[in-house]
Amino acid sequence: MTTSRVSFDSWATLNDTIMGGRSRAGCCLTPEGLLLEGEVVADGGGFVSCRSPLLRPPLDLSAFSGLRLAIEAEGRTLKFAVASSDGLMGLTEMIPGGLRWVMPVPTKLEGTTVAEIAFKDLQPVVRAKPVGLPLRFDASAITRLQVLHSRFDEAGSTNPGFRAGAIRILIHSIEAYK
């Protein structure tokens, strides 16, 4: 990686409609950053998100300790998710929904929240359910990044910072830090 800042080129929306939900939101690049805007519906799914394209070759952030987000999200608790090659000959890629490494990101009601996501604090999950296997996050093989607002937290419980209804999330930047 030649810069510590993540590009928002080709990021796309992924909402609960993939599993029968009714949330509607889209993400687009603006001069201020990546904007996710729409409506999140709790019944039948309950999530909206923006995610990076599949990173090929994988992003090598092994020289860094984590990622720093600058984000406006109306006081909601978001999830930041990272996909990484697993070192198990790709076995976790065969899990439906895929293995993701997540961390909650509580945000301020107004203004920009700056949150540091330490790689060592990421928790492995599959479809909002914790994984009990002894897996190790590999910062040298990051294959996708995603910012979500979901009714479920990283442990699969109800997200106390979830709010259904109109939503506007502005991601100013994501950058690696040492």
Separation between Cα atoms, residue 164 and residue 100, nearest integer Å: 23
Q: What is the pLDDT of residue 126?
A: 84
Q: Which two tokens stand for residue 175?
A: 């950058």
59-91 per-position pLDDT tens digit:
999 999 999 999 999 999 999 999 998 655 555
What stretches in the chain show pLDDT beneath 70?
A: 1-3, 86-97
Please list the residues that pair with 145 across neighbouring strands.
82
Q: What is the pLDDT of residue 2?
A: 47
Q: Is 139 left (phi over 0), alpha (psi -120 to 50) or beta?
A: alpha
Q: Specify the fold of 12-177.
A: Jelly Rolls (2.60.120)
Q: What is the pLDDT of residue 1?
A: 45
Bridging pattern class, strands 113-118 and 129-130: unpaired
Q: What is the pLDDT of residue 86?
A: 63
- Find tokens 């604090």 and name the residue: 121
